[in-house]
Amino acid sequence: MKSIIEFKKGEQVDLGSYIGKKIESNMNVSPIQAIDKIKWDFKDSQTQYLTHKYHSYPARFIPQIPRAFIQLFTKEGDTILDPFCGCGTTLVESTLLKRHSIGNDFNPLATLLSNVKTTSLSDQQLIKIDSLINSIEARIKKNNLKESDLPELPSRNISELFSKEMLKELQVIKNIVKTVEAEDKNLYNYLLVALSATIRAIIESENGGNILGIFERKLNQMNNLMREYRETAHKTNIKLINGDARKLNISSESVDLIVTSPPYVNALDYYRVHMYNMLWLGMDYNEFKINEIGGHSHFLANRFRLLAEYLGDMLRAMIEMNRVLKDGKYCAIVVGNSSIDYEMIESYKHFISMAKYIGFEHIKTIFRNINKSSKYFVNGKIDDEYIIVLKKIKNSECLASDEDFVAKIVLKEMQNFRSKVEKNPGSSTRGKEVSDKRLKYNLVKIDEAIEKINKDIKIKGN
């Protein structure tokens, strides 16, 4: 790949519409200049294709974002990292563009999805699925499972969607799928994703009639997408880590580009969204709950303590990003605003502020509108997001494990946040009438959060 990309003079480019096409031009621009020429909303681009369509996933970013940065800032054979890889969007795009990739996520379901979406299966493997479906159908007709064979569901309203007959069908599917594990691990993982997607479909539609039919239709869709993916994907090295972004198991200065979208503070609990999928797949969602960054279930009595914890976690993650990134290379972080107790949390501003202490230079901030009709987001409340582009100019002088340093930086951020709230309380009321007394009480809670920073920024649970 050349170090420049060509655009027509004065043109804004929707890179999604140029995939696989030559860009004719009479003007050469650098990758940084090209950022301003891309229409980052990607309003008319197809955002779900190939293996991206395997499984729904909340708050995932569209593939055009990592694709654009990969095309602009790397060449074939380079290594791309996503330390919060989610369902593997960055990894799929890297493979399609002949780049090696590393994906990290604490959520075991996320790393399973990423693995399956980037692993090609042969026609011989896919043919085996027909006989498995027949075995499942025959076993369901026998209906000889006992209630003691069924999993105990969490005490939640969603559990009421699953009748005993539905649970038996799901258990039969799981038992037959399990028989494949020893013989063909890749096919086994593929079937697990289809089972997980079936469970998501039941929850999202609140309809569990003909579970085997849902499972079979999902597999047929995945099989067709897999065949298309095989024709397009390239043989690259893909490393997946079910691990902590605050202490990456990756060699220092080994990565050519980072593109990631970390969790948004107080936006949602991924463990809740994935609880039933993880339960059926034998994954520990409680461990994930404890270690989830920005999780809505943390600090229920004082959400501003969650903000301090989140800033500490993200600072550690950014220090690790700096460590593994090669000198002079770029990092793109996609994040949206959220809110806590009627106060706007502009996470991107905190990230930019913290970056200067750990060896990054802030190059650019990109604002983009979200097409909520095609993005799995949080109750439709987030309308836009920001992409901050950072360049590594030196190694961070402090380690992610340095609690004194982390506490010091988080204190600065929280003090600045307090000043903002004091000057402009209620920055995120969204039209609700909130009393002055209620808003002033936020300052009391922020002060408490500041007092407990040293305790709250410690890494918990692992």
Q: Cα(244)–Cα(87) distance, rounded to whole angstroms?
A: 16
Question: Do 221 and 302 fall into the same domain?
Answer: no
| Cα 313 to Cα 54, 157, 327, distances in angstroms | 30, 32, 23
309-331 pLDDT per residue, tens: 999 999 999 999 999 999 999 99
| 176 in the same domain as 293 | no
Residue 118 belongs to some domain of the structure? no
For 57-66, the pLDDT digits (tens) are 988 899 999 9
* In a shared domain, residues 442 and 299: yes
pLDDT at position 72 is 94
pLDDT at 431: 80
Q: Answer whether residue 437 is part of any domain.
A: yes
With respect to residue 274, please indicate whether it lies within any of the assigned structural domains. no
Domain that holds residue 143: 123-232
DSSP state of 61: P
Task: Give residue 99's pLDDT.
Answer: 98
Residues 432, 321, single domain; the answer is yes
Helix (H) or strand (E) holding 260: strand 255-260
Q: What's the CA gap between 310 and 292, in Å, rounded?
A: 10
CA 246/CA 320 separation, integer angstroms: 6
Helix (H, G, I), strand (E, B) or coil at 205: helix
Question: Residues 6 or more apart from 408 whose CB is under 8 A from it?
Answer: none
As for how many domains the chain has, the answer is 3
What pLDDT is stored for residue 206 in this prediction? 75
Q: What is the mean pLDDT of each run of 10 residues along the chain (462 residues)?
A: 50 55 51 91 89 92 95 96 97 98 96 98 96 95 87 88 92 96 98 96 84 96 97 97 97 98 84 87 86 85 96 98 98 95 96 98 95 47 84 98 98 98 93 92 98 94 58
pLDDT of residue 25: 41
Q: What is the pLDDT of residue 407?
A: 98
**Cβ-based neighbour number of residue 123 at 10 Å:** 10
Pair 317, 449 in one domain: yes
Degrees (nearest 5) of the Cα angle 213, 219, 223?
145
Same-domain check for residues 301 and 256:
yes
> Is the residue at 114 inside a domain?
no
- Alpha carbon 409 to its chain centroid, in Å, reads 25
Let me know: does 89 contact 61? Beta carbons within 8 Å. Answer: yes
Specify if 328 maps to a domain. Answer: yes
By CB neighbour count within 10 A (0-12 exposed, 13-18 middle, 19+ buried), where does 431 fall?
exposed
Say how far apart CA 185 and CA 343 lie, in whole Å.
47
Residue 7 lies in a domain: yes
- Of 379, 417, 427, whose CA–CA distance to 269 is shortest? 379
96 occurs within a structural domain: yes
What is the per-residue pLDDT for 380? 39
Q: What is the pLDDT of residue 11?
A: 61
Which pLDDT score, from 0 to 100, does residue 295 have?
82
Residue 454: Cβ-neighbour burial (10 angstroms; 0-12, 13-18, 19+) = middle
Based on the fold, state whether residues 91 and 78 are members of the same structural domain.
yes
- Write down the pLDDT at residue 290: 83
Identify whether residues 94 and 217 lie together within a single domain.
Answer: no
Identify whether 308 is part of a domain: yes
